[in-house]
Amino acid sequence: MKCGIKEQRSVKYNFDCKLYLVTEESTPTEELLPMIQKAVSGGVTLVQLREKTSDGKAFYEKALQVKRILDTLSIPLIINDRVDVALAVEAAGIHVGQTDLPIEAVKKIIPDSMIVGISAHTEEEALKAEKSGADYIGVGSVFPTSSKPDAKPLPHETLGRIKDSVSIPVVAIGGITEKNVEQLHPYQVDGIAVVSSITRADDPKLAAQLLLKNAFY
């Protein structure tokens, strides 16, 4: 399940997308930081800081705090959407959506060492992402999700076709829990991305452990 190794400045990250934690903007920083530490101790391998409404300064300051913790744990920090914030804090990577800057444009302004991920919902989008130089693809929503209530669940057959059509890692996202993740076994995804299953868990460490156990046993 190793997705590769990329060297970012002086920190060498093991780019493993097996269990990908995406944060919730509503989580206060004083709760977010210990939650991330616990989740990593349970097996989280990659963390995306997702902020949709924060201004640049607030996003930057939160990202710095998260990165300090993750650097001590040798876990990559991925910044959602904001290339400027990712560059400013020297994050390990950036994740963009279909309506954000195209990957070709992103790659012109980031170092080659930076991980680039993109969301895709069709085989065509996935193939274009691979051709454009994406390091991984996030595919979903694979189940109904409270994090994005307007997201239409993607047929699992589509997930399978996307997985079969590209050679870069495919990460399933959207509504994944320890109880339903086994439904994804036939599609042999490279990783799962979760939000509330960990961020809202009473025990983030245990939640991460159970997700890994049920997803990749």
Q: What is the pLDDT along the chain (217 residues), one digit of tens a residue?
A: 456 545 444 444 568 999 999 999 999 999 999 999 999 999 999 999 999 888 999 999 999 999 999 999 999 999 999 999 999 999 999 999 999 999 999 999 999 999 999 999 999 999 999 999 999 999 999 999 876 666 688 999 999 999 999 999 999 999 999 999 999 999 999 999 999 999 999 999 999 999 999 999 7
51 is in an annotated binding site: yes
3-state secondary structure of 166: coil
113 is in an annotated binding site: no
175 is in an annotated binding site: yes
| Annotated active-site residue in 148, 161, 165, 200 | 148
Task: Return the pLDDT at 8.
Answer: 46
pTM above 0.95, yes or no: no
80 is in an annotated binding site: yes
184 is in an annotated binding site: no
| Annotated active-site residue in 119, 163, 197, 205 | 119
Strand stretches in the chain, DSSP E: 2-8, 11-16, 19-22, 46-49, 77-80, 93-96, 115-120, 136-140, 170-173, 191-194
Rounded Cα distance between 142 and 202, Å, is 24
Give phi and psi for 120, each to the nearest 5.
Answer: -140, 150
| Annotated active-site residue in 50, 62, 67, 163 | 50
Rounded Cα distance between 214 and 119, Å, is 24
41 catalytic, yes or no? no
165 catalytic, yes or no? no
Task: Return the pLDDT at 54.
Answer: 87
Cα 42 from chain centroid (whole Å): 16
132 catalytic, yes or no? no
- Pairing status of strand 19-22 against strand 11-16: unpaired
Rounded Cα distance between 114 and 7, Å, is 8
Tokens of 179: 């109880």
48 is in an annotated binding site: yes
Tokens of 151: 């997201």
Strand stretches in 55-120, DSSP E: 77-80, 93-96, 115-120
Does CATH number 3.20.20.70 belong to domain 2-215? yes
- CA 204, 196, 133 angle in degrees (round to 5)? 100
148 is in an annotated binding site: yes
